[in-house]
Amino acid sequence: VDLSVFLLKIISLERPFLSIITVCYNAASVLEDTIKSVIEQTCDDYEYIVIDGASKDDTLNIIEEYNEYITRWITEADKGIYDAMNKGIELAQGKFIWFLNAGDTAFDRYVVQQLKESAGEHDVLYGDVMIVDAERKPLGLRSEITVHHLPSHLAKKDMQRGMIVCHQGFIPLHHLAPFFIQNNLSADIDWTIRILDQAKSVFKVDFILAEYLAGGVSKKKWKKSLLDRYDILKNHFGFTRTIFNHVLIIGRAIIHRIKRGKKSHY
């Protein structure tokens, strides 16, 4: 038996199945919902990590209130959301990692148990998420109310036309997860592509993974997000293919907005 394989098996026996990571900054109004959705899980084979960016509101009071349920947490200034997420990756010890940032929640209390039952020998688990508004009113499944229709067999090539799967619905093996690039509002696309490029087995689960709070930094800085996405896709798929796909992306978005009466496409 290869020694490295043997050692990996030994290590895997001592580590939790899942690292759930929450990054937050001045998130007192939404953080408690996120924490409760994690600690109420029926399966406890996870660790919970909270990365705070030196919040100035009541966020730290909420973290301290739930301190006994949080495996590790830190509070310090960071360089933005992806810097904070990188800190979470660095601290994580689980076999898989799952980002549920402040305002996002596990869809129900059975998600971790279902993930563990579905994991098998897969490198990545992925699935749909429910988009909710600020009052946590369900707006619909992301794959149904946006242009991002989730394929049954997700692969790197599917990412050519945008963020087909969001990070709340994407759970890779920890050792496949690179650090996010910095100063790029579409760094999650690059992160997902790089993971899919390495993954040998990618499995779509048949249950909803999370509630995803509509909005986000990239939506508030839409133009920069689009430019950042273009640069990332060009680097991965080439200039010609990216130009062609962006024509399709724009056309798809226009058609989608017309069909939905010009409602937000998230």
Read off the pLDDT band of 239 (50, 70, 90). Answer: confident
- For 52-92, the pLDDT digits (tens) are 999 999 999 999 999 999 999 999 999 999 999 999 999 99
Average pLDDT over residues 20-46: 98
Cβ-contact 34, 104 below 8 angstroms: yes
What was the pLDDT predicted at 257? 58
Q: What is the DSSP letter of 115?
A: H
pLDDT score, position 189 = 94
pLDDT in tens, 184-231: 888 999 999 999 999 999 999 999 999 998 875 545 576 787 788 878
Q: Residue 266 has what pLDDT?
A: 39
- Considering the entire predicted model, what is its pTM? 0.85
Q: Is the confidence at residue 264, as pLDDT, over 50?
A: no
The 10 Å Cβ neighbour count of residue 33 is 16
- Do residues 129 and 266 touch, judged by C-beta distance below 8 A? no
Over the chain, what is the mean pLDDT?
88
What pLDDT does residue 227 have?
83
For residue 129, give the nearest of 205, 200, 225, 44 by alpha carbon. Answer: 205
Chain CA centroid to CA 169, Å: 6
Lowest-pLDDT choice from 16-20, 192-196, 199-203, 235-239: 235-239
Under a CB-based contact definition with an 8 Å cutoff, are residues 155 and 202 in contact? Answer: yes
The whole-angstrom separation of Cα 169 and Cα 46 is 17
Spatial distance between the Cα atoms of 126 and 204, rounded to a whole number of angstroms: 5
- Three-state SS at 97: strand
Q: Is the pLDDT of residue 12 over 70?
A: no
User: Two tokens at 185?
Assistant: 């509002």
Residue 128 has pLDDT above 60, yes or no: yes
